[in-house]
Every structure is written in C-alpha cells, then in structure tokens.
Structure 1
C-alpha cells in the first residue's frame, strides 16, 4: 500500500525579535545532519517564522549586486534579493530538529518567484518563512519552502524553493533487503487503464497565482547565445559571503567531494541571479527557474535567451532553464 503524505497542520506563527545568527545555525545543522533519515512521509515542521521591521543594508546590497552582476545604485531591489534577506529565517527552520532533511549536502533544485510590485531598497519589510510540503523525488526527498515579503501589510514578493536531500528511495531499500534475504524481487504492479484523477507524479508544480503558464524550456531549437562567462574558482565563496549560504559543496573542491561532486559547484541562486541580471530589470513579474545540472567551478558557461525564456549551459549540457513573465500577461 502506498504511504499517504501526512496531513499538514495549520502553521503556528512565531515572531522573532531579531534575525537569527547564521554561524551557530549552520553549525547546528551540520551536527544534526548525520542523525536525520530523510523520507517524504515525515512530519512537516508546523512553524512559520516571521521577522518584522527589516531594513536593507545598502552596503550589503551593493556587494550582492556586484557578485551577481546587477547594476548597482538602483533604488529597486533585485528580484532575487529578498531570498537573501529571508535566508536566516529559512536556515532557522532547516537547521532545526523538526526539519526532517539533513542540512549538509542539501541541493537547491528550483525556485518560483512572484514579484507583485517593485520593492524599494529603502522600504521596511516583514518576512515570513515556512516549509510548505515534502515530496518524493527520483533521487530522494524534496522540501518546498515558502518565503514571503510584505510592506505596509501588503504582499510584495513571494517565492517557493525546492531543496533535495539525495538518498535511495524506500522501494529500492526494500528491494535490497529482499535480495539480501534471498527473497524474490517484488513484481511491479500493473498500471491502471483508468485516467488519473489528479496530477501525475511527474507533473510540474502548480503555478503561483497571477503567473500565466510557462512554456516548456525544451524546444525544437536551442536558445541563441547572448553572453559567455568565465567563472572563477572562488565564485561559491564570494556568493556565500554575501548570501550567508556556506554549504560545503560550494566552498572548496575537498568539501564538495565529500558529497559526491568532483569540484565545488556554484550556488543555484547565484546562477539564476546572474541570468536575471543579464536578462534585464522588470517590475511585477513571475520567474521560474529549474536547476538541472551543477555548474562546476572553475568553468565557462554560456547564457542564452529568447523572448521569455533563458538558460545557462556549457556545450550541450544545460545547467539552468527559466522563464520571466510580466504578471497579468
């Protein structure tokens, strides 16, 4: 019998007096990681963290813009910057005992951003973060984290990020145990001929409200190359310094090898931010990006775009695909 995901309770809102410090959170997450056994039917943390009165540090914003290739000095926040503002709240949740996935080696696999209106760098914000759901993935278990930013009580920005903890799915574990006992392999169930009542397991995630359906990034012709970037070995360390995301897979070849990567890899959020900086500024937009393959550091990548679609690739290997759509279009 297939295990049904647990019913998610209504989240409890917890308001923080100050932003959490990232260093102890990352240390706690690293210590708890070996104790966690990820599975998609684990209980979802039922807390929504809220931080009010958030002001943008303009010097930090300028450093972020330089690392990601955005034009500096503009009053409007880059479309990806609220993710960095809320990152300490996300780490507070994902480094806690209630979060069922190990923080070490966690891979960012996709993000959907809705910017309802342009966000000023001089505005005061309220940030909220919660884990929306857990779901099975062909390589393990994936968590969806919802982040929101409000100004004067109105929702101005929101995102849904998916994070993958890689592990062998439970059905593979069961097959391995049966083989060790000498039991015959399980016979796969015959597929039902009836039409499915709901979305298939391989269906794309639901589109946030206000964003029109996105075109498939896989078309008959590759997108035309717009720019080529030579990425230095320290891109992960530089982005980690401005974002606070110091996951070992991004920092050094030796620490990246501990998690199965031949070299350090670029942050997914750096990759999408760099692409959006090249794409150009937009006001009220919906952005969707999928991180398909890691970008090894150092390396050379090409940015390609046509119309609403963009991608990052090296040769024929596609690292990232995405779309940018004006809201209401």
Structure 2
C-alpha cells in the first residue's frame, strides 16, 4: 500500500507513461491503494480552480474540486508497472462523485485511490478508479472514474452501438461560450496536460481536428451553473458523450426533478450530445 507523504509530481509520471506505455499488458488490476494524508487546501489553487470552472470563490469547496486533488494519485496508480493498460489511450467515459456533506477549505483531507472492477465492454475493456476522501476518519467525498481501453471488442460489430435518436433538449438551458484556451487553463490547474486538450497541433497528432475540452471541466462547469441550487449532500453522475471542440458554444440543460436535477449538455448549433447526467440528493 503506497503511502505518500506529498502529492506525486505529474510531469515525471507522464514522462514515464510515454516511455513505458507499450510494456503495459495484462488482464488484472494491481491491488495497490495509494494514500495521502493530512493535506491542507491552497487558497490560491482553489481560487484558480473556481475561476476556470465558473464557481464562486467561497470557503465551501466546489463539489468537483477534490477530484482534482485525488487525480495525481490516480495517475501514479495507472503508471505502475502492474497496471494492465498504457495511460495514453485510456478514455474517461463516466464519472460519479458523492458529496457526503459540505466541506470547507479550512479542513484537512486524507485521500486514498484504488482500481477496481476490470470488465468487458463492447468496444474493449473498462475499469474504475475509486477515490475516497476523509476528514478525521469521516468519509466526506467519494469518486468513481470509469475508463475505457478500446480494442479487443468481442462483439461482431467491433463494439459499435446502434445510434439512438435524441429528443429535444429539455430546459431551461444556458448558452455557454467555451474559449479556445480553456484546455490549457484547466490543464494548468488540474495537472491533466493531455496533448489533446492543449493545442490544435498536438490534438491533431491524436486524430482530433482541434483541441477538445476536458470532460471533468465540462462536468464542473455544468455544476457551477447550478451553484446555490445544489443540496448539501448529493451524488452527481455524468456520462461523457462527444468531445467539445475548442472553441465552441454549448447549451447546458438542467431539468429540476424530485431530489435533484437531470443534466443534458449539447452543442449549441448542431445539438450533438456532450454530457448527460444527474444530480440526486443523498
């Protein structure tokens, strides 16, 4: 059980991932749990995160903020020699966070991250990275990030699913202009400097015509549009659909339901889906 004394530095981990990627092969997940105890919040970092994601600066942490602090532990785990897949090429397809109570910037947090539930998927294989955050032994926040490794699909159609027709977007909706530099800005504050998010030239090397927005930035920005209307304790689940090209305009739809919200984010012009999700009081 790797017990860390400080957050791992992401740049060396990314360098290791680039060099050792072809060596990652296997059918089992490592049983490691990465832990990091007694972490204080940097007010400057919190403000930078709030600024790029559209949250008000407050003593209460944005619901997605602890995901960013747990992310370096996830990368450390995914670059372990025993991890079965290269880090480059993993696709973040789904995310679930549960906020157990309001958490504030003056608290001290301990983190643990582990991998779980390697399973087949029509387009390859999926796995979950599970993050738990505690304060004085009390679990205050949990996260489940689901990643897809494409390839080796067992279905006859190679993992392609039939298209389903989308109904009209439910409202009310908010039109949001997504600037071209948001990938670099969010990458700087989150540490997620995947080349597909940073610049059109680097994104084209991976088959994208332009840089694309981070999924977790879009999830955070969607929740920020509901700030002041979220329960103190809730679960937010999102499925990431088509990438958001940078720059672009998206339409954020949020429908109030009993106990929370249904979320639907689409391209403002074409109506193509970017994110579907829910918020439910817990």
- 1:150 corresponds to: 134
The 1:220–1:302 alpha-carbon spacing in structure 2 relative to 1, beyond 3 Å, is: closer
| Structure 1 segment 109-124 matched on structure 2, within 5 A | 109-124=93-108
Partner-residue secondary structure (3-state), 1:279: coil
> Does the CA contact (< 8 Å) of 1:130 and 1:146 recur in 2?
yes
Q: Does 1:255 align with 2:193?
A: no
In the TM superposition, what is the alpha-carbon distance from 1:138 to its structure 2 partner? 2.3
Equivalents in 2 of 1:246, 1:225: separation in Å? Answer: 33
> Any stretches of 5+ residues in structure 1 without a counterpart?
1-12, 176-201, 203-217
In the TM superposition, what is the alpha-carbon distance from 1:219 to its structure 2 partner? 8.5
**Per-residue CA distance 1:107-142 (angstroms, 9 max, x = gap):** 211111111111111100110000012122222222
Give TM-score scaled by structure 2 length: 0.90
Aligned length: 269
Q: Does 1:321 align with 2:276?
A: yes
- 2:237 corresponds to: 288
1:270 counterpart (217, 220, 223): 217
Equivalents in 2 of 1:48, 1:105: separation in Å? Answer: 23
**Per-residue CA distance 1:218-277 (angstroms, 9 max, x = gap):** 986521142111212211111000000011111122222232322111101000000000
In the TM superposition, what is the alpha-carbon distance from 1:163 to its structure 2 partner? 1.3
| Structure 1 segment 77-92 matched on structure 2, within 5 A | 77-92=61-76
Q: Identify which range, 164-173 or 303-312, moves more after superposition.
A: 164-173
Partner-residue secondary structure (3-state), 1:123: coil
In the TM superposition, what is the alpha-carbon distance from 1:104 to its structure 2 partner? 1.3
In the TM superposition, what is the alpha-carbon distance from 1:171 to its structure 2 partner? 6.4
- 1:196 corresponds to: none
Partner-residue secondary structure (3-state), 2:140: strand
1:141 counterpart (120, 125, 146): 125
- 2:182 corresponds to: 235
> Any stretches of 5+ residues in structure 2 without a counterpart?
none
- 1:28 corresponds to: 16
In the TM superposition, what is the alpha-carbon distance from 1:80 to its structure 2 partner? 0.2
The 1:88–1:274 alpha-carbon spacing in structure 2 relative to 1, beyond 3 Å, is: same
Equivalents in 1 of 2:209, 2:122: separation in Å? Answer: 22
- 1:18 corresponds to: 6
Equivalents in 2 of 1:141, 1:262: separation in Å? Answer: 26
**Per-residue CA distance 1:126-184 (angstroms, 9 max, x = gap):** 100000121222222222100010001010000111112222425679x9xxxxxxxxx
2:264 counterpart (300, 306, 311): 311
Equivalents in 2 of 1:298, 1:34: separation in Å? Answer: 33
Equivalents in 2 of 1:320, 1:94: separation in Å? Answer: 25
**Per-residue CA distance 1:56-107 (angstroms, 9 max, x = gap):** 10100000000000001x1111000000111111110012211112111322
- 1:70 corresponds to: 55
> Does the CA contact (< 8 Å) of 1:77 and 1:121 recur in 2?
yes
- 2:191 corresponds to: 244
- 1:193 corresponds to: none
- 1:159 corresponds to: 143
- 1:298 corresponds to: 247
Aligned-pair Cα RMSD in Å: 2.1
Equivalents in 1 of 2:196, 2:90: separation in Å? Answer: 9
Equivalents in 2 of 1:231, 1:50: separation in Å? Answer: 35
**Per-residue CA distance 1:268-301 (angstroms, 9 max, x = gap):** 1000000000012431111111101111111111
| Structure 1 segment 216-227 matched on structure 2, within 5 A | 221-227=168-174
Equivalents in 2 of 1:298, 1:80: separation in Å? Answer: 23
